[in-house]
C-alpha cells in the first residue's frame, strides 16, 4: 500500500513544491506571475526615477545660484521633475498594489491548501495535534506569510533597487564617487547577513511560543466547565501568564536584535564621508555646487533601504517561520491512507478480528491484545467491560479510525486496509457517547452525512430516533440553529439527533458507543425500539451496560484489560463467566 501524506486525497486545485519552505512559497507566488512582474517592474522604475530626482535638483540648484538665473531652464527642470515624479508615483502604486495582490492571493491559496490537508489527515494525527496550535498555524502563521510579501518583499525589492541606482548614477558626477555607495553596500550586506542569522531562530521561537499560548487558551476554553467546576480559574490564569511571559520574552529578544541593527550607523557614516568627498572635489574644482547637492541627494536614497530593512527583513523572517510551521504540519506523516484503488463493492457487514493487537503509539504496551472473534452479517453484538478495558479502541479499528498494530480486521473477508477508505466508512456509522454537533440548524446536523437527502427522508428518520418529539416544540422547528457542540440541547436530545444522522446514511454496520447513556428511562424505551428497528438487516455493535440492550444481542463479547474474557449469550455468560456476572453486580 502507498504511504501518502493524507488519509483522504481531497480535490486539489493547485500543485505546490513542498520540498523546501522557499520552494513552497515560490510555487505559490509563481501562480500569480503577472502581478509579480508588475510589482518588480514598478519597483525598478520607481528606483530609477528616484535617481533622476537628484540630477534634476542639482541642475536646478546651479541655475538658481547663477548671477542671471535662466527662468526658462528652471521651468523646464521643474516640469521634468514634476513629470518624472508623477510617473514614479504610478510605478510605486504598481509595486505596492502588485505585491499586495500576490500577498492576498497567496494567503487565500495557502489557507485552502492547509484546510484541505487538515481535512485529509487521519484521526491519529488530530488526536496528537493540539487544536489551539493548529488554529495558530491556520490563522496567524498564514497571515505572516501574507506580510512576507506585503509589506515585506515589496519594501525589500524596492530597497534593493534604491541601493543599486546610486552606484550607476554616482559616476556621472565623478568616477571616484562610486566608492562611497559601494563600500556602504558591502558593509550593509555583511551586517544584514549577521542580523538575519541572529534573527532567524528568534522569529522561529516567536511563532512557536505563540502556538503554545494559543493551544493552552483553546484547551482551557474548551474545558471551561471543568475549570469552573474545580474553581481553578486562578491556577489557569497563572499558567496562561507563564505562556504570555514566554511569548513576551521572545518578542523582547527580537527587539534587542533589531535595536542593534548596524546599517543605521553605517548610513550616517556614509553620508558624512560622501559629503566630505564631494566637497573635497568641489574644493579641487572638479565638481560644481549643484553636483555636490545632487550627489548628496543621491546618497540620501540609501536612507530608504537602511530604515526599511530594519523591520522588512524581520517581517520576511517571521513569514518564513510561519511558512515553516505550516509546511511541517502539512508534511507530517499519517499511518493511514485512502487506498483509492482498494476494494469497493457493496458491503454485507460481516466482521472478523484475527489475533488483533493495538497500541496507540505503536509500542509493545498494547491497549488490545490477541483479539479474535467473528460476527456474521446482520448480527447484533454487545461489547461489555469495565472502564479502560478497550471497548472504544476495538470499535475504532473497524472503520480505520486507527489501524491495528498486529493482526487483521476483516469486513466481508477483506482486510479493512485493503478497502477503499471512503467506501469503508460510507457503510459504517458510529454514534459515540460524546456527541459532536455543529453550530448549524438541526436539519443540517441530521443531514450532515447525506446533504442531498430530502426533507421527507430527514423527518422520517427523525421520527424513528424520537427527534421529532422535541423539535416540533421549538419555534423554528428543524431550522433552529443550535449552539456550538450542541450546548443548547440536553444530552438526550443530542444523542437522538446523532442517531437520526446515523440512520439517514443507511449504513451496513451500525456502532453504538454507549450512545443511550444520557437518555432518561422514559425516552429509553422509545429509543430502544428505534434502535431495534434500525438494526434490522444490518450488523450492529453496541458498547453498553444496559441490560435491556444486552439481552437482545446475538453475541456478547466481554473485555477485560484489553483481552477477551468471555463470549456468548447473556444466559450463557451468566452461568459461565464470573467477570460478566461481576459487571452487573457492581
pLDDT tens across 47-80, in order?
999 989 998 988 888 888 877 778 888 899 899 9
What's the confidence (pLDDT) of residue 103? 95
What's the confidence (pLDDT) of residue 2? 39
Are 157 and 259 contained in the same domain? yes
Residue 439 in this model has a pLDDT that exceeds 90:
no
Lowest mean pLDDT among 19-28, 371-380, 572-581: 572-581
What's the confidence (pLDDT) of residue 351? 95
In tens, the pLDDT along 269-318 reads: 999 999 999 999 999 999 999 999 999 999 999 988 888 887 888 889 88
The cell 455468560 sits on which residue? Answer: 573
Are 370 and 259 contained in the same domain? no
What's the confidence (pLDDT) of residue 518? 53
DSSP 340-406: TTSB-S-----EEEEEEEE-TTSSSS-SEEEEEEEE-TT-EEEEEE-TTSSHHHHHTTTTTSS--SE
Are 114 and 248 contained in the same domain? yes
What is the rounded CA–CA span in Å between residue 496 and residue 520? 12
Instruction: Phi first, then psi: give them for residue 10, nearest 5 degrees.
Output: -85, 160
Residue 367 lies in a domain: yes
Residue 166 lies in a domain: yes
The residue among 309, 331, 353 that closes a domain is 331
Residue 3 lies in a domain: no
Give pTM, 2 decimals: 0.71
Mean model confidence pLDDT for the chain: 85
Q: Contacts from 18-26 at CB under 8 Å and sequence distance 24+?
A: 18/327, 18/330, 18/331, 21/320, 21/323, 21/324, 21/327, 22/320, 24/323, 24/327, 25/106, 25/145, 25/148, 25/320, 25/323
Are 319 and 185 contained in the same domain? yes
Residue 547 in this model has a pLDDT that exceeds 50:
yes
Residue 472 lies in a domain: yes
What's the confidence (pLDDT) of residue 4? 45
What's the confidence (pLDDT) of residue 363? 67
The cell 460524546 sits on which residue? Answer: 434
Domain count, the chain: 3
What's the confidence (pLDDT) of residue 580? 83
In tens, the pLDDT along 137-178 reads: 888 899 999 999 999 899 899 888 999 999 999 999 999 999
What's the confidence (pLDDT) of residue 525? 67
Residue 7 lies in a domain: no
What's the confidence (pLDDT) of residue 1? 37
What's the confidence (pLDDT) of residue 10? 53
Strands 414-415 and 563-568: unpaired
CATH value at residue 218 = 1.20.1560.10
Are 513 and 578 contained in the same domain? yes
Are 312 and 399 contained in the same domain? no
CATH value at residue 399 = 3.40.50.300
The residue among 310, 331, 352 that closes a domain is 331
Are 547 and 485 contained in the same domain? no
Residue 554 lies in a domain: yes
Percentage above 90 pLDDT, the chain: 32
Residue 138 lies in a domain: yes
Range of the domain at 482: 437-501
Residue 526 in this model has a pLDDT that exceeds 70:
no
What's the confidence (pLDDT) of residue 313? 85
What's the confidence (pLDDT) of residue 585? 66
Cell of 30: 509563481
Are 127 and 162 contained in the same domain? yes
What's the confidence (pLDDT) of residue 145? 93
In tens, the pLDDT along 325-347 reads: 899 888 876 656 667 778 888 89
The cell 523572517 sits on which residue? Answer: 317
Amino acid at each position: 500500500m502507498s504511504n501518502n501524506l493524507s488519509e483522504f486525497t481531497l480535490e486539489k486545485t493547485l500543485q505546490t513544491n513542498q520540498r523546501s519552505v522557499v520552494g513552497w512559497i515560490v510555487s505559490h507566488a509563481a501562480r500569480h506571475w503577472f502581478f509579480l512582474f508588475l510589482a518588480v517592474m514598478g519597483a525598478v522604475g520607481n528606483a530609477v526615477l528616484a535617481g533622476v530626482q537628484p540630477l534634476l535638483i542639482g541642475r536646478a540648484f546651479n541655475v538658481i545660484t547663477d548671477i542671471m538665473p535662466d527662468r526658462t531652464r528652471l521651468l523646464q527642470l521643474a516640469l521634468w521633475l514634476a513629470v518624472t515624479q508623477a510617473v514614479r508615483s504610478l510605478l510605486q502604486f504598481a509595486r505596492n498594489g502588485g505585491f499586495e495582490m500576490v500577498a492576498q492571493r497567496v494567503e487565500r491559496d495557502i489557507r485552502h491548501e492547509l484546510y484541505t490537508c487538515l481535512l485529509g489527515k487521519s484521526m491519529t494525527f488530530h488526536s496528537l495535534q493540539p487544536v489551539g496550535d493548529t488554529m495558530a498555524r491556520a490563522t496567524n502563521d498564514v497571515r505572516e506569510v501574507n506580510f512576507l510579501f506585503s509589506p515585506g518583499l515589496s519594501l525589500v525589492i524596492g530597497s534593493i533597487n534604491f541601493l543599486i541606482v546610486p552606484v550607476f548614477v554616482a559616476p556621472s558626477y565623478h568616477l571616484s564617487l562610486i566608492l562611497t555607495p559601494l563600500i556602504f553596500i558591502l558593509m550593509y550586506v555583511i551586517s544584514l547577513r549577521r542580523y538575519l542569522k541572529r534573527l532567524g531562530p528568534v522569529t522561529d521561537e516567536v511563532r512557536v511560543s505563540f502556538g503554545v499560548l494559543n493551544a493552552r487558551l483553546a484547551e482551557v476554553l474548551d474545558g471551561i466547565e471543568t475549570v469552573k467546576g474545580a474553581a481553578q480559574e486562578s491556577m489557569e490564569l497563572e499558567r496562561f501568564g507563564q505562556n504570555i511571559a514566554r511569548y513576551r520574552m521572545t518578542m523582547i529578544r527580537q527587539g534587542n536584535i533589531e535595536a542593534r541593527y548596524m546599517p543605521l550607523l553605517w548610513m550616517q557614516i556614509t553620508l558624512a564621508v560622501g559629503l566630505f568627498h564631494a566637497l573635497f572635489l568641489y574644493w579641487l574644482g572638479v565638481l560644481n555646487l549643484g553636483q555636490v547637492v545632487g550627489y548628496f541627494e543621491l546618497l540620501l536614497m540609501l536612507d530608504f533601504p537602511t530604515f526599511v530593512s530594519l523591520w522588512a527583513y524581520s517581517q520576511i523572517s517571521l513569514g518564513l517561520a510561519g511558512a515553516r510551521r505550516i509546511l511541517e504540519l502539512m508534511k507530517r506523516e499519517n499511518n493511514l491512507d485512502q487506498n483509492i484503488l482498494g476494494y469497493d463493492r457493496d458491503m454485507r457487514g460481516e466482521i472478523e478480528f484475527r489475533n488483533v493487537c493495538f497500541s496507540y503509539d505503536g509500542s509493545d504496551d498494547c491497549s488490545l491484545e490477541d483479539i479474535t472473534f467473528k460476527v456474521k452479517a446482520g448480527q447484533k453484538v454487545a461489547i461489555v467491560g469495565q472502564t479502560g478495558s478497550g471497548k472504544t479502541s476495538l470499535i475504532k479499528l473497524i472503520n480505520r479510525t486507527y489501524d491495528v498494530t498486529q493482526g487483521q480486521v476483516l469486513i466481508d473477508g477483506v482486510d479493512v486496509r485493503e478497502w477503499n477508505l471512503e467506501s469503508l466508512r460510507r457503510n459504517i456509522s458510529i454514534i459515540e457517547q460524546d456527541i459532536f454537533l455543529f453550530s448549524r440548524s438541526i436539519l443540517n446536523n441530521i443531514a450532515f452525512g447525506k446533504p442531498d437527502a430530502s426533507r421527507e427522508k430527514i423527518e422520517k428518520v427523525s421520527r424513528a430516533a424520537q427527534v421529532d418529539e422535541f423539535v416540533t416544540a421549538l419555534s423554528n422547528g428543524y431550522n433552529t440553529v443550535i449552539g456550538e457542540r450542541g450546548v443548547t440541547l440536553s444530552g438526550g436530545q443530542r444523542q437522538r439527533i446523532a442517531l437520526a444522522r446515523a440512520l439517514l446514511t443507511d449504513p451496513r454496520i451500525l456502532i453504538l458507543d454507549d450512545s443511550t447513556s444520557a437518555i432518561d428511562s422514559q425516552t429509553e424505551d422509545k429509543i430502544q425500539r428505534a434502535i431495534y428497528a434500525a438494526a434490522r438487516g444490518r450488523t450492529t455493535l453496541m458498547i453498553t451496560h444496559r441490560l435491556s440492550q444486552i439481552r437482545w444481542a446475538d453475541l456478547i463479547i466481554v473485555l477485560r484489560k484489553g483481552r477477551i474474557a468471555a463470549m456468548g449469550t447473556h444466559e450463557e455468560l451468566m452461568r459461565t463467566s464470573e467477570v460478566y456476572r461481576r459487571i452487573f453486580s457492581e
